[in-house]
Amino acid sequence: MRYFLDTEFNGFGGDLLSLALVPEDGDQDYYVVIPFEGAWHPWVEKHVVPYLESVPPMLLNRLDRVAAAHDVAAYLANDPDPVIVADWPEDIALFCRLLLVGRPRSSTSATCGSNSTAPRVSRPRATAGCRTTRCTMPAR
Higher pLDDT, 102 or 90: 90
- Outline where DSSP puts E strands in the chain: 2-9, 16-23, 30-33, 83-85, 110-111, 120-121, 134-136
Non-local (6+) Cβ contacts of 125 within 8 A are 100, 101, 102, 103
In the chain, domain spans? 2-136
pLDDT tens column, 52-92: 998 888 888 899 999 999 999 999 998 989 999 999 999 99
pLDDT tens column, 24-42: 987 889 999 999 999 999 9
Give this prediction's pTM: 0.72
Look up the CATH number of domain 2-136: 3.30.420.10
Inform me whether the pLDDT recorded for 104 exceeds 80.
Answer: no
- Angle CA 17–18–24, to nearest 5: 155
Given a contact cutoff of 8 angstroms between Cβ atoms, the answer to whether 137 and 93 are in contact is no
